[in-house]
A and B are shown apart, each in its own frame.
Chain A
Amino acid sequence: MAKSFDVRRQPGFTAIAMLCFVLLYLPILLLVAYSFNAGQSISQWEGLSLRWYASAWQNDQIQSATILSVTIAVTAAFLATSVAVLAALATTRVKPWRGQTVAFAMINQPLMVPEIVTAVSLLIFFAMIKVATGYTGLWYLIIAHTAFCIPFAYMPIRARLQGMNLSLEQAGADLYGTPVKVFRYITLPQLWPGILAGGMLSFVISLDDVVITEFVKSAGQDTLPTYMLGQLRRNITPEINAISTALLAISILMVTAMFFFSRTRK
């Protein structure tokens, strides 16, 4: 019997889609595979080994870069999520107000301006402050990361808030809940998945940043990505692959968790 006509099929599209998925994952999978290589090479397989993980673990530079990356990411994610919750409460489920457009533009600005431009502007601005105050600590990086994490934290929180029923809070207020108590016992528990998603997203974004960190960091303030970028000029060993694999694992874990989280809570 002849194969019946399928209105959804387009010739070659499935093949291209499959190729697309292969192309998306093949380079990453190879990178991961060679992190377990016993030899020095990142393209010739010489047997399974964890030696590069061990060597990365013992590398002082990588250790300090890891500590710095995590410190910045945790702090920036916490700050960005906190201010994003407040901003989302002020801009969601309210009547349109004057200045709303400006507020949205400000929040989304890090998404619209090319990273290199932001990086350059922060380099200039922080250089001025460094000269004026003499402070060369970590807070430049933390504030810079917080700023570009804000839109990523804001989006899921705002989305969650928009989906929430205003009448619940009205019921809370009707039952003698003060605004603070209503927020604490009614709004916040419902908002929690959004906050968690925003926080995780910010953490991943901060952990992955290269460009802004590269321009803003003072001497000796290498994060994992800038350390890896610095290694480019040297001979690359699977040690880089080992760090990459660890970072990949964190990102994939968080994105997948967020996916299932948002799916079950809907």
Chain B
Amino acid sequence: MSPSRTRFALLAPAMVILFFAAAGPLVIVLVYSFLIPGDYGGVVWDFSTDAWFGVVAERDFFTDQLSWADAHLSVFWRSIKLSLMTSVLSLVIGFPTAYFIATRPKGSRDVWMLLIMIPFWTNLLIRTFAIMELIRNEGTINTVLIAMGLVTQPIQMLYTEFSMLVGMTYVYLPLMILPIYASMERLDFSLVEAGYDLYATRWQVLRRVIFPLVKPGVVAGSILVFVPCLGAYVTPRVLGGGKQLMLGNLIELQFGQLRNWPLGAALSLTLLVIVMIALIFYVRAAGNEGNAHG
């Protein structure tokens, strides 16, 4: 067999599975986004752009007037806002943590990183549950606060944007630490010494020397946190309790209770496009990093 035929034969099984259970169905989603919803779920095979209009606009049932779909826009806004806030919070915690690990002796760095990786590889649902059990009205935090006499009524933390922010930061934090640590580990500390030698204080060394040098890692980490936040489904469902929807929950709603599959398809593709834009930024950042070190 020729090399290219061998290669084709070796790749075929993986490609077939990925085509039928990952990439291919996306095309069907695109088709569905241009159809009309069926009465009991599913679709009617008639071309329509209503679903795409429906992403951002709505038609008044009686007057037929178009207006902004405030319900959708507020979900978009919440998704983007919470994703950004999660990225920032993860950065604030993750950057010093990555720095701490990168400045440990070589042998123990792996062990510290393992401690970061273990929660990451454990079930996302379970980690979300753990947060929920902590911040419920009957949860550990409120129980402790009441027992100490600091509050008389439990503080409502669950089912708020706060709980979603905490939860998403908790589950996606390792994605921030990983790339920052990777940049930080390669950092030449004689540059830091040079900074101190040239009269830069600790803060100036951090801002003018360390931060610019690990910036590619920071950009990568921010996008790696931002992207899954945007498409998050489990964490907002458990911690937002169906009251504070994010994009993932809005999409699910179209396929469940609201039975508007074309709108759900259009929303999914909108999400996909936003994520792809973010990923292009990521590839650019990663590319720049390659150049800077090559």
Contacts and interface: CB of A to CB of B under 8 A. Distances in A.
A and B touch in the complex (CB under 8 A): yes
Interface of A: 5, 7-14, 16-17, 19-21, 23-28, 30-31, 34, 41-44, 79, 82-84, 86-87, 89-91, 94, 97, 103, 106-107, 109-110, 112-125, 127-128, 143-144, 146-148, 150, 154, 204, 207-208, 210-211, 215, 225, 228-229, 232, 236, 240-241, 244, 247-248, 251-252, 254-256, 259, 263
B116 interface: yes
Contacts of B275: 112-114
B123 A116 contact: no
B21 interface: yes
Interface string B87-115: 00000011011011101000000100011
Nearest to A252: B118
Contacts of A86: 10-11, 13-14
Interface string B164-205: 000000100100000000000000010011001000001000
Interface of B: 3-4, 6-7, 10-11, 13-15, 17-26, 28-29, 32, 42, 93-94, 96-97, 99-101, 103, 110, 114-119, 121-127, 129-131, 133-134, 136, 138-140, 142-143, 170, 173, 189, 192-193, 196, 202, 206, 227-228, 230-231, 233-234, 237-238, 247-248, 251-252, 255, 261, 264-265, 268-269, 271-272, 275-276, 279
A248 B275 CA distance: 30
B15 A106 contact: yes
A97 B3 CA distance: 11
B20 to A, nearest CB: 7
A112 B23 CA distance: 11
A144 to B, nearest CB: 5
Contact of A116 (B124, B133, B170, B268): B268
Contacts of B22: 106, 109-110, 113, 118, 147-148
Contacts of B248: 114, 116, 211
Given A30-B133, A150-B17, A247 B123 contact: yes
A7 B196 contact: yes
B123 A211 contact: no
A91 B119 CA distance: 31
Given A13-B99, A16-B97, A107 B14 contact: yes
Nearest to A25: B119
Contact of A34 (B10, B26, B133): B133
Contact of B279 (A8, A112, A207, A244): A112
A45 to B, nearest CB: 10
Nearest to A236: B133
Given A120-B255, A147-B20, A251-B121, 5 more contacts: A43-B142, A43-B143, A79-B17, A208-B124, A210-B125
B223 to A, nearest CB: 11
B215 to A, nearest CB: 17
Contact of A144 (B21, B26, B228): B21
